[in-house]
Chains A and B, each alone.
Chain A
């Protein structure tokens, strides 16, 4: 019953009234995103790069919910991304000619795009549920193997299905995506991840990560929570896939291999398992890294098939970075903390602990 004056509960000092706190980030984010879109509309390359970066952030932040917060090692995230990409891609392809007559064409396209995205996300979430329900009773390595297998199954299924264009992939998906849309979803996934982390649900996930037996004994429905975190994570992976499908010229099974899954795992581990901002920073870094290397090589004067060369050495570089990181900072960049916990002292920081 005590209320320590030195450490008021954070809610008490916030200037935003309780009823508005839920919607407040959205009110801030929408104008910021609009401004962002307006500033950016000139350069197609920047648009593309930022979109890729945004998709990677969504993937990393969503995988962090499972791998970081819940401590379940899933390495099939690209599989869920593929489900979202193909389902929403096929949907958009088939709805290409459809227009909602009561809306202007552009708005109608965006509405259909949103629907396609959501359907893709829900399909991925359903896959997450189907894969998660039996396999989340397994621990550690076993779960990793099951998710790995799932990712490969999806890829093989796609490769052998006519509707998904087999190995050639799907082309001609309308390019509905925009940085505005991508970063709106980035915003959503970050908001969801942070709000989960700050709620009793998030604490239950952390508890499972820390000690499953104790969590169960303290009344946490461990299997239920693991499945739910898996479903939420898969949903956003599906959304990321859907966004991806609507700004790249072609999607094929090669975009969703084990390598892609590992790339996302690397982002999460690099950022620090459990740190949402860490996942964001790592995703940005690892998206820009190949570009940075490309310009570096350009400056060095190596001409020719540069893109290929950079692509070829990207994986060794990932590997080396992981090794170096694991040796120097086994807990990742931020560990379990968020960026504001590790900022210099003079920046006002949040109270320690979760939320």
Chain B
């Protein structure tokens, strides 16, 4: 198992690490012994049939759920028990399976929310000292905004510039002042990615970014994701339903079924894995076709 973890293609220290993470809702084991390592430059896939626990895995990694067992590390820091926004400040950003934009805000403001000068100076320092420093910084920040100091105005311009840049990268410049809810579906998906990038992440988690897109759009998106990984020097983890697509772009794939990791490795390796075929196509398929494809 640890060999498979080492097989990740990226370089450098692990940015995101899940180690034996399990989560249980009452009697339901939503995720069992889930492990994952993402380094800079990784483009990994997380696949599995419906209800396999993919989104649960995302929610554990981003702090929405607390793991029952195991631990999650972001940039080497243990984040169990931290709130999602604190984990985000450590460099983990995500998109949502069912688009969750700030619908009444313009595209620009959506990204600016994320770009905002990250108030917390010491997100991981949850001791008294760190909290006091954060509170003080936040207090000063409010007064700057209320007094409209030149420094505040400069910061605000800088935020606008950053957000405009991200909109441009995602090909959304023409939608700058349009309310998010009025954007076509594909553009909403791209805006979500722009927004996630606004938080200056080191690792980007994409939850079915291509859902609802046609084959061509999907292909374009995958090229874009690869480009983002290189330009922003990210580690990327993609949840995707479409096996073919994931196989095409991901260098490393983890397969979940019923909350358990049933396979992991390079696409070719995963594709021919007996358990994966069983999970996706059922064992009757295996019987009639005489074993692994």
List 18 other contacts, CB 8 Å, given A203-B109, A210-B105. Answer: A2-B164, A2-B165, A2-B173, A9-B160, A21-B148, A200-B113, A200-B145, A210-B102, A210-B103, A210-B104, A217-B85, A217-B93, A218-B195, A219-B114, A336-B104, A353-B106, A353-B177, A354-B109
Provide the bound-state CA to CA distance between A11 and B161, in Å: 13
* 30 residue pairs from A and B, CB less than 8 Å apart: A1-B164, A1-B165, A1-B168, A2-B165, A7-B176, A7-B177, A18-B150, A19-B150, A22-B147, A192-B146, A195-B145, A198-B145, A199-B156, A200-B112, A203-B116, A204-B113, A210-B103, A211-B101, A213-B64, A213-B100, A217-B62, A217-B84, A217-B94, A218-B198, A220-B113, A221-B85, A221-B120, A352-B177, A353-B106, A353-B108
Contacts of A336 in B (CB 8 A): 104
Q: What is the predominant secondary structure among interface residues of chain B facing chain A?
A: helix
Provide the bound-state CA to CA distance between A113 and B219, in Å: 68
- Minimum CB distance partner of B160 in chain A: A9
With contacts A201-B145, A210-B102, A214-B96 taken as known, whether A2 is within 8 angstroms of B199 at the C-beta atoms is: no
Which residues of B pack against A, CB within 8 Å?
62, 64, 83-85, 88-89, 93-94, 96, 100-106, 108-109, 112-114, 116-120, 138, 141-142, 145-150, 152-153, 155-157, 159-161, 164-165, 168, 173, 176-177, 195-196, 198-199
Q: What is the predominant secondary structure among interface residues of chain A facing chain B?
A: helix
What 0/1 readout, one digit per residue, does chain A (203-229) give for beta carbons within 8 Å of chain B?
110110011011111111110100010
A69 CB, nearest partner CB in chain B, Å: 11
Number of interface residues of A (CB under 8 A): 43
Question: When A and B form their complex, what is the total count of cross-chain residue pairs whose Cβ atoms lie within 8 Å?
Answer: 133
Q: Which 7 A-B pairs have the closest CB atoms?
A: A199-B145, A200-B116, A210-B102, A22-B148, A214-B100, A219-B88, A353-B106
Provide the bound-state CA to CA distance between A228 and B199, in Å: 22
With most chain B CB atoms within 10 A of its CB, the pick from A1, A207, A211, A219 is A219
With contacts A2-B168, A207-B113 taken as known, whether A201 is within 8 angstroms of B153 at the C-beta atoms is: no
User: Do A214 and B199 have beta carbons less than 8 Å apart?
Assistant: no
Q: Among the listed B101, B141, B150, B198, which residue makes an inter-chain contact with A201, where contact means beta carbons less than 8 Å apart? A: B141
A169 CB, nearest partner CB in chain B, Å: 35
Which residues of A pack against B, CB within 8 Å?
1-4, 7, 9, 11, 18-19, 21-22, 191-192, 195-196, 198-204, 206-207, 210-211, 213-222, 224, 228, 336, 351-354
Contacts of A198 in B (CB 8 A): 145
Contacts of B173 in A (CB 8 A): 2, 4
Contacts of B199 in A (CB 8 A): 218-219
Q: Among the listed A191, A206, A228, which residue makes an inter-chain contact with B102, where contact means beta carbons less than 8 Å apart? A: A206
